Amino acid sequence: MSSFSAVRPSPSPRAFRTAFLAKMSQGRGSAMAVSLLLCLLVLHSDPAHAATYPVGDARGWSFDSAGWSGGKRFKAGDILVFNYNPTRHNVVAVPKGSYDSCKTPRGAKVYQTGNDKIKLVRGQNYFICNFPGHCESGMKIAITAA
């Protein structure tokens, strides 16, 4: 009795190449689908980086900054940059009542570098200059961040 095991014939080089290319194209198709999905997600998502806004644009933080925010859409995490002469102005983050009354509450954060970067929080953000008479003369802004 002879013991021969059944041997499968090797595929021809052409059949091997066809099967190999079919498998590779499946992988490429999946990779392309994943790449396309990632591109669509990136295009339709909010930017991960916060926007930076120089308050008052080129004029900087000044008496006519109140209208500066009109037409801008702010988000929590955006950065306001207050540029000003620190011997003549400052920036104070205040609650609404202090914004309306131009009175600086005890413990309020007073910025006075002349190049202050302040991160917005969700909701209302109020800023005034508390040098005598400045807030009352309009040196204040209210920003709503989504």
**pLDDT of amino acid 25:** 59
The alpha helices in the chain, defined as continuous H runs, are 13-44, 96-101
**pLDDT of amino acid 138:** 95
64: alpha, beta or left? (left if phi > 0; alpha if psi -120 to 50): alpha
* Structure confidence by residue, pLDDT tens digits, 32-45: 555 555 544 544 44
* Structure confidence by residue, pLDDT tens digits, 56-79: 999 999 998 888 999 999 999 999
Secondary structure letter of residue 124 according to DSSP? E
pTM over 0.75: no
**pLDDT of amino acid 66:** 82
**pLDDT of amino acid 45:** 46
Weakest mean pLDDT among 45-54, 85-94, 108-117 = 45-54
The alpha helices in 4-129, defined as continuous H runs, are 13-44, 96-101
Return the residue matching tokens 């413990």. Answer: 107
Asked if residue 126 lies in contact with residue 142, where contact means CB atoms within 8 angstroms, the answer is yes
